[in-house]
Amino acid sequence: MQDLFWSFWWLMFPVSFMLLGAFRAWLSYRARREVVEALRDLAKAGREPPAALVAQLNR
């Protein structure tokens, strides 16, 4: 088992980069979903959304 680790130790770098990329994508999705929910709530209330909120969606 130890020989297997020493033969493939370098795989921890690409795997960790993939996990980091998936985590960043999930954070981006969650932030975008919150902006859409805020815009939906403002639309239901009949209010105009702030320009900064719309600009966040266009990033």
pTM summary value: 0.74
Between the alpha carbon of residue 16 and those of residues 2, 20, 21, 25, the distances in Å are 20, 6, 9, 14
- Give the pLDDT of residue 37: 96
Instruction: State the pLDDT at residue 17.
Output: 98
10-residue mean pLDDT series, the chain (59 residues)? 85 97 97 95 95 88
SS3 for 37? helix
Measure CA of the first residue to CA of the last residue in the chain; give whole Å.
47
- pLDDT attached to residue 24: 98
Alpha carbon distance 28, 22 (integer Å): 10
- What distance in Å separates the CA atoms of residue 17 and residue 19, rounded to the nearest whole number? 5
